[in-house]
Chains A and B, each alone.
Chain A
């Protein structure tokens, strides 16, 4: 759907040349939710603006929906933008227009006749859950409602790609969840490809299929969200993953745990994806004559399944413990014995 080949973007400033995007290669597939994460200044804002031509790359090629957008003229680019729309961190609604008029704006730009505009606007208001708010002005709405207007506006011309520029960063956690749910539902309902940039790993974890990690203008790591969460390679990725899983804290306290639970065996289970759906614990307790004690747990849910760790204390007959560990192994959950009695 979107492919970037050796794309770079340099800015010439008085302080010298800044390389905002440095030789980036990416392939974003039709219908997926692709996340780009990085701290501020990593180049992700510039990168996302390259995808609809708001910024022109200084090198490389960008192909969106089969069209090479790097070399086409402004007129053609405007046509492309009807199908590649964008939502923003600060919503960027026109204060002088009501909710309905804001949503109608891209339709006016695309030259849709008035009666069709009205029908489409009503559809969109319903889709984003703003029924009855059509005649409100943005100043009368909450942040979450404003972003819903932003999303409705972005969907007006039935785009194929939705670019989200830190779309939830200005919202409180609860509203963030609601907006993310809305994005997932339109992704599923409309088959829309979504590219989002964020500095919050929670957002990636919650809705993305794949993720690219950016640092200093480069994509330093890329892959399925679950894999990246499971096995982060770069230090920066590890820091992002820590935002949601807090594994460092786990490591620090393991020694304490060993001291606290001297009996039996402490084992650490690591879940990847689907296994978390299976009731491993209850089977373990039913099948083996063991005392099972949950010592510590941290399970996070990503779009393609849950992952996390669970530390159990198994107390009882030594052979039963061994059999139990064998059983867990067979469930394809990786197991690690922390202390040996």
Chain B
């Protein structure tokens, strides 16, 4: 039955591609979370009246974030080819997608981190300072825990974008469901392969959203 609906789908190959997509999404999400958090915290802490208030640093970080957030992803991949080559000595395969994925998604996530941090009650920060907290304590024990629901829902949205980005990276040979849909589906005119790839990506997105919502709900004690 399923073979009559999807006659051209090579299931082991499809499964392998799905795992590649999953791998690219997972690793790039982790890296994006780390770099995005760092950038977001830097944006927040260098803004006026914060612990590291510094106009120049704030402007530079802001400019970096805005530039890389504005470049369309498909163009970013091409622009970053020399950089990727330098870094990884190859531009093919799932690993070669990471520089572009992270540089494309981290600034996007940094903005969401900033929004989350700005929503923290100023009074709570003042209270922490009044107790004699160091900036590092404020980061780890106030800023991050108090904005955690926003950070988690932000990384959920970013992760879903990254699923899309991995598919785009697939076009230039990163592997995964994007490559499969493009090479086997589009170029060989096998619509069922494209369709199956889409279904798998949809399932992945739904699962990510569901996990994200669950975690956000569980940690939000407000």
Whether A79 contacts B132 in the complex (CB less than 8 A), given A92-B121, A94-B146, A108-B141, comes out as: yes
Whether A81 contacts B124 in the complex (CB less than 8 A), given A94-B145, A96-B146, comes out as: no
Residue B126 at the A interface, CB < 8 A? yes
Whether A109 contacts B132 in the complex (CB less than 8 A), given A88-B127, A93-B124, comes out as: yes
Scan A61-93; emit 1 where CB is below 8 A from any B CB, else 0: 000000000000000011111100110101011
Residue B188 at the A interface, CB < 8 A? no
- Which of the four size classes fits the interface of chain B? 20 to 34
Measured CA separation A79–B145 after assembly (Å): 24
Q: List, in ascending order, chain B residues with CB within 8 A of A92's CB.
A: 121, 123-124, 126-127
The CB with the most chain B CB atoms within 10 A, among A78, A88, A96, is that of: A96
Scan A35-58; emit 1 where CB is below 8 A from any B CB, else 0: 000000000000000001010000
Whether A85 contacts B221 in the complex (CB less than 8 A), given A92-B126, A93-B124, A109-B137, comes out as: no
Q: List, in ascending order, chain A residues with CB within 8 A of B132's CB.
A: 77-82, 106, 109-110
The answer on a CB contact under 8 Å between B130 and A95 is no
The answer on a CB contact under 8 Å between A97 and B131 is no
Partner of B123, one of A88, A109, A157, A163: A88
Scan A95-116; emit 1 where CB is below 8 A from any B CB, else 0: 1110000000110111000000
Smallest CB separation, A263 vs chain B (Å):
60
Measured CA separation A52–B134 after assembly (Å): 15
Whether A85 contacts B141 in the complex (CB less than 8 A), given A92-B123, A94-B146, A95-B221, comes out as: no
The answer on a CB contact under 8 Å between B148 and A85 is no
Measured CA separation A330–B133 after assembly (Å): 59
Residue B42 at the A interface, CB < 8 A? no
Residue A233 at the B interface, CB < 8 A? no
The answer on a CB contact under 8 Å between A105 and B129 is no
Measured CA separation A108–B140 after assembly (Å): 12
The answer on a CB contact under 8 Å between B131 and A106 is yes
The CB with the most chain B CB atoms within 10 A, among A109, A137, A139, is that of: A109
Whether A97 contacts B127 in the complex (CB less than 8 A), given A79-B132, A81-B132, A110-B132, comes out as: no
Partner of B145, one of A82, A96, A106, A153: A96
Residue B218 at the A interface, CB < 8 A? no
Measured CA separation A96–B219 after assembly (Å): 8
Measured CA separation A54–B123 after assembly (Å): 12
Measured CA separation A82–B130 after assembly (Å): 8
Q: List, in ascending order, chain B residues with CB within 8 A of A153's CB.
A: 131
Residue B208 at the A interface, CB < 8 A? no
Scan A299-340; emit 1 where CB is below 8 A from any B CB, else 0: 000000000000000000000000000000000000000000
Q: List, in ascending order, chain A residues with CB within 8 A of B121's CB.
A: 90, 92
Measured CA separation A108–B177 after assembly (Å): 48
The CB with the most chain B CB atoms within 10 A, among A77, A78, A79, A110, is that of: A78
The answer on a CB contact under 8 Å between B134 and A78 is yes
Residue B142 at the A interface, CB < 8 A? yes
Chain B 118-161 interface residues, beta-carbon cutoff 8 Å to A: 121, 123-124, 126-134, 137, 141-142, 145-146, 148
Residue B55 at the A interface, CB < 8 A? no
Q: List, in ascending order, chain B residues with CB within 8 A of A79's CB.
A: 132
Q: List, in ascending order, chain A residues with CB within 8 A of B222's CB.
A: 95, 139
The answer on a CB contact under 8 Å between B131 and A109 is yes
Smallest CB separation, B176 vs chain A (Å):
36
The answer on a CB contact under 8 Å between B131 and A94 is no
Smallest CB separation, B149 vs chain A (Å):
9
Smallest CB separation, A82 vs chain B (Å):
5
Q: List, in ascending order, chain A residues with CB within 8 A of B124's CB.
A: 92-94
Q: List, in ascending order, chain A residues with CB within 8 A of B221's CB.
A: 95-96, 137-139
Measured CA separation A27–B132 after assembly (Å): 24
Smallest CB separation, B111 vs chain A (Å):
22
The answer on a CB contact under 8 Å between A96 and B148 is yes
Measured CA separation A81–B126 after assembly (Å): 12
- If A110-B132, A138-B221, A163-B130 are given as contacts, then 8 extra A-B residue pairs at C-beta distance below 8 Å, sorted by A number, are A54-B130, A80-B132, A88-B126, A90-B121, A92-B123, A95-B146, A96-B148, A139-B222
List 30 contacting pairs A-B, 8 Å CB cutoff, sorted by A: A54-B129, A54-B130, A79-B132, A81-B130, A82-B131, A82-B132, A85-B130, A85-B131, A86-B127, A86-B130, A92-B123, A92-B124, A92-B127, A93-B124, A93-B127, A94-B146, A95-B146, A95-B221, A96-B146, A96-B219, A96-B221, A97-B145, A105-B128, A108-B137, A109-B134, A109-B137, A137-B221, A138-B221, A157-B131, A163-B130
Give me the interface of B with A, judged by CB distance under 8 Å.
Answer: 121, 123-124, 126-134, 137, 141-142, 145-146, 148, 219, 221-222
